[in-house]
Structure 1
């Protein structure tokens, strides 16, 4: 009697489940999709854009280019992440879910898609998108490794993960008011804060791996001061744009209404002095992004309904 032939689709599913899960984990999409959406909507709106096919294309391209940055970072950092138990489990290459070769092939596929999508949106958007892709590559590539070069780590992170996405969305439409593209500095400053936050969180692991970035160079206390300074500068730039009416003056009413609801738990702990705002800062990131998303959506909808006064 011949042995029973196994169920081929089931065997294939069992074989593919782990690497597919590893590839999805490599993208780390939960860490940036919300932020990239807000950044893209801001750029498109200030560029005179509206909800149309161009917005969907530039949003997909921006999400993919940031996804490439995260993916390639984990490919290059796999040996270093293996030194830390928590990071080793988060990085699918360090965890043995996929091989470095599969990770590199996935990065190549994503980068090709990115360039193709940006090319559909015109020459300026394509050049900015290609620059963003290049910076994302150089940020992690071990030969250059900009993330291990003080100051360059902040600039490359701020531009490749925020500022250039804003500009790509802006120039996909390019119908905004004069100099409104300068608002890319706002999202760049927010991204600089994010980079400093990440460096502060991972400072001990990075030291073991020999990575010397800005936070390690200036120390914990000055890093926290620089984080606050970047947020203050971003807020000052927002006030300038409101004063010049490049952003509607009624728009801040939206976050003032939404923020207390989304930050209720964090505010309660702070008022009761059960938490420190700097030590508890990461718990505030997702609510802050949701506030930004709601604000951008209301801005788009309000301009589509000029005869309806929201406020």
Structure 2
């Protein structure tokens, strides 16, 4: 009995994919610190922000596993505890909806107004991405566009809106994060290209073909950095030169070490830090 409970608890932990939250929590905190500065960390809104973001991410990853069940069983993916029978579909759905409803209630009680509206949009998009009848993740290119919103731009805007109403000037950063999130999704599509084809999963990469997907990735990558470095110039022009130098060095070192795929992530993080520095010092 005790072993069965422990096994199920471990299964639910695996289903929430907590280790995959890091980048998305960072997007929310980026918006929060950009609006409120470093002292926002000690504000009473920090804890409910982190809790609601965590509940949202728990919902998004869990509900995705629930409705990826057939594909994951066909491709024999062991990362999905529902597909391998560690936890049941029904209890995973109940857990997912519990996280969503708890997060929505906490967001409304703690923040209300614009943050709660954004949080509701996050929940609806994450649900529509994974669950039928819409299941955006099987409708290219809506899959990548929706991912750019609910795992990108809207997280940034949610963190910002907790402090103040988002002005139009920060849309530049929101667009950059939107593009960066699409790049993350396309990278995953390219990595899973063969297994997705074998399982009959329709993604943007399967729809376009691997060569055209790689070309699209390069175009969006260039556009992402154009928007991001323009944002760096607008919001933090005094740090533009040292950040550019750091980015070039990081890309060069990564290329020498054979880690070209990580170079774009390092370059993006350094640029976002450069944007943030004047607002936290």
What interval of TM-score do these two structures reach, taking the shorter chain for normalisation? 0.7 to 0.9
Q: Distance in 2 between matches of 1:116 and 1:259?
A: 45
TM-score by length of 1: 0.78
Match of 1:73 in 2: 64
Conserved 8 A contact 2:232-2:275: no
Q: Distance in 2 between matches of 1:215 and 1:269?
A: 27
Q: Deviations over 1:49-72 (max 9, x none)?
A: 522232332233223322311111
Conserved 8 A contact 1:140-1:147: yes
Gaps of 5+ in 1: 1-10, 303-311
2:105 to 116, 129, 147: 116
Match of 1:35 in 2: 23
Conserved 8 A contact 2:71-2:201: no
1:90 to 79, 97, 100: 79
The 1:192/1:300 distance shift into structure 2, 3 A limit, reads: same
Q: Distance in 1 between matches of 2:51 and 2:99?
A: 11
Q: Number of aligned pairs? A: 277
Matched, 1:145 2:135: yes
Conserved 8 A contact 2:243-2:271: no
The 1:247/1:121 distance shift into structure 2, 3 A limit, reads: farther
Conserved 8 A contact 2:56-2:100: yes
Answer 1 or 2: which has greater helix percent. Answer: 2
- 1:133 deviates by 0.5
Match of 2:257 in 1: 269
Q: Distance in 2 between matches of 1:179 and 1:301?
A: 18
Match of 1:190 in 2: 180
Match of 1:308 in 2: none
Q: Distance in 2 between matches of 1:255 and 1:64?
A: 36
- 1:73 deviates by 0.8
Match of 2:54 in 1: 63
- 1:117 deviates by 2.8
TM-score by length of 2: 0.86
The 1:173/1:105 distance shift into structure 2, 3 A limit, reads: same
- 1:284 deviates by 5.2
Conserved 8 A contact 1:167-1:184: yes
- 1:182 deviates by 3.8
Q: Distance in 1 between matches of 2:58 and 2:278?
A: 27
The 1:118/1:268 distance shift into structure 2, 3 A limit, reads: same
1:125 to 90, 115, 129: 115
Q: Distance in 1 between matches of 2:243 and 2:177?
A: 19
Q: Distance in 2 between matches of 1:113 and 1:252?
A: 45
Q: Deviations over 1:97-154 (max 9, x none)?
A: 1011111111011101220232121211101110110000010113111011111111
Once structures 1 and 2 are overlaid, which stretch shifts more, 155-164 or 63-72?
Answer: 63-72
2:192 to 199, 202, 209: 202
SS in 1 for 2:190: helix
Conserved 8 A contact 1:58-1:117: no
- 1:294 deviates by 6.4
Match of 1:25 in 2: 14
The 1:30/1:216 distance shift into structure 2, 3 A limit, reads: same
